[in-house]
Structure 1
């Protein structure tokens, strides 16, 4: 389905052999604390803890071939732009996750393994329930007649505008669905990785996805580290490839119901996928 990444297992085996030597040499090194964004780690919701859990799996010494690393959550909630700046400026931030863009991949170092296997690039059209029939069987031209709601700092806002949509922006995610209910814009475009979780939280609101109608554009989700932190980048990449190879990545992914529900929607018969162009991305999986 959709976008596939493939791990180079032969290269991984070589890294593991060389890394085992490095592990022995690193046993006496001091512990390095790695800071990550706050991530609902105590929520019990696998969707909200996925990236934190995945980083812990990938950076386990047996997979990353790196020792003396300790992950720690930041205690305060910060906007993504503040997180990006803290990472860039080395202010107690070492690893973040987010969608790819030219700016982010220039300012930071991406580990180019799509953490969601392309699922985030498929976008549901969420509307008021009373308007579902109005939107069904729409093509790109028909949908461009409606305004779309999106946060001002999301890359999606730029992508949608570049594809001819009038974008109504907001600053607080929590206002998105109430604004949709009150007719401030015609629809919202939401990733299939997050759709089920969001709609479960908004069950009392008069909104629903248009059945069998989706946008698609390149929107990979990566871990990012500082440009000069080559060692950590290698640890994360080696660990992710090992987690893919030993099945621990897939086990974690399969445990997130929101991802499974998104995959089910893509597999339904009669889907219409409207392809959009993302002019702000860099070709994924390049390294």
Structure 2
């Protein structure tokens, strides 16, 4: 209650505006919303109550970050990059423990035998991946020699995959299983005998001037790490639980990619490996 005692306005109800879900396929959106609520709840005693407001119109990543810069959004979550950490305050505790960078192809069920024949990265590089036009993943894949169809809309990516206008949609293991279970995606499957692996932490970002909210998010995530609730959360949340146990990937072919968009010093940051606790 220290901040409340020192400053009454701090303990008035804070409004935290966030992005809406990009589509019904984006089921893992709920993971980040629920985690944000948990972080705000665990810090309420020190920072006061907070009300989360979800904006109505779907946003591209470019638009979302623009609204964050113009103070029309308070929190935005996305994969990090040099440019994003230059222009915004990143809360450098990975929200998914690093699982976002373990990518498995989502494919049409009738193409399983085709993907089963892949034994090298070169074979996969000949296929076309649907990927977000403004996502760091597209830059990473192209940098490593993979063919990418850049798509502006998340909803359109799954529509294109269903129409086989691309060959696969690489999704984080924390995302893929929940997304293929969405109504309408019955003809799709997560092909986890193949994995693309690259470092790409998902962070909360706030406006560069919003140091108080940045500190609150940091305090909350650190508290959840310290008491083990963050590990418990990712293990049991409905959208991420299907990825576990992680031992299921021990026989997967893993194609390792370089991420040229990572900020300098990333490898020396604390907490980048908190997912190790999940692997136990």
Give the shorter-chain TM-score range.
Answer: 0.7 to 0.9
Q: Summarize deviations over 1:229-281 as a string: whole Å, max 9, x none.
A: 22221111011111222343334323323312223365344222110111112
TM-score w.r.t. length of structure 2: 0.83
Higher mean displacement: 166-175 or 259-268: 259-268
Match of 1:14 in 2: none
TM alignment of 1:121-136, pairs within 5 A = 121-136=101-116
SS at match of 2:17: strand
Contact 2:27 2:179 in 1 (8 A): no
2:242 is the counterpart of 1:267: no
Structure 1 residue 114 displacement after superposition: 0.4
Match of 1:103 in 2: 83
Higher mean displacement: 239-248 or 69-78: 69-78
Q: Structure 1 residues 266 and 158, CA, compared in 2 at 3 Å: closer, same or farther?
A: farther
Highest Rg: 1 or 2?
Answer: 1
1: CA distance, partners of 2:47 / 2:37: 12
Contact 1:36 1:71 in 2 (8 A): yes
2:47 is the counterpart of 1:66: yes
Q: 2:220 aligns with which of 234, 239, 260?
A: 239
Q: Which runs of 5+ in 1 are unaligned?
A: 1-19
Contact 1:36 1:95 in 2 (8 A): yes
Contact 1:36 1:72 in 2 (8 A): yes
Q: 2:131 aligns with which of 144, 150, 159?
A: 150
SS at match of 2:56: coil
Counting matched residue pairs gives 264
Q: Structure 1 residues 135 and 59, CA, compared in 2 at 3 Å: closer, same or farther?
A: same
Contact 1:148 1:186 in 2 (8 A): yes
Contact 1:163 1:276 in 2 (8 A): yes
Q: Summarize deviations over 1:160-184 as a string: whole Å, max 9, x none.
A: 1111012122222223234234432
Match of 2:269 in 1: 286
Alignment RMSD: 2.7
Match of 1:229 in 2: 210
Match of 2:273 in 1: none
TM alignment of 1:1-287, pairs within 5 A = 20-27=1-8, 29=10, 30-39=12-21, 47-60=28-41, 62=43, 65-67=46-48, 69-91=50-72, 93-136=73-116, 137-201=118-182, 205-264=186-245, 267-282=248-263, 283=266, 286=269
Structure 1 residue 31 displacement after superposition: 4.0
Higher mean displacement: 70-79 or 223-232: 70-79
Structure 1 residue 285 displacement after superposition: 6.8
Q: Structure 1 residues 160 and 154, CA, compared in 2 at 3 Å: closer, same or farther?
A: same
Contact 1:58 1:64 in 2 (8 A): no
Contact 1:177 1:207 in 2 (8 A): no
Structure 1 residue 108 displacement after superposition: 0.6
1: CA distance, partners of 2:75 / 2:38: 14
Match of 1:5 in 2: none
Contact 2:196 2:257 in 1 (8 A): yes
TM-score w.r.t. length of structure 1: 0.81
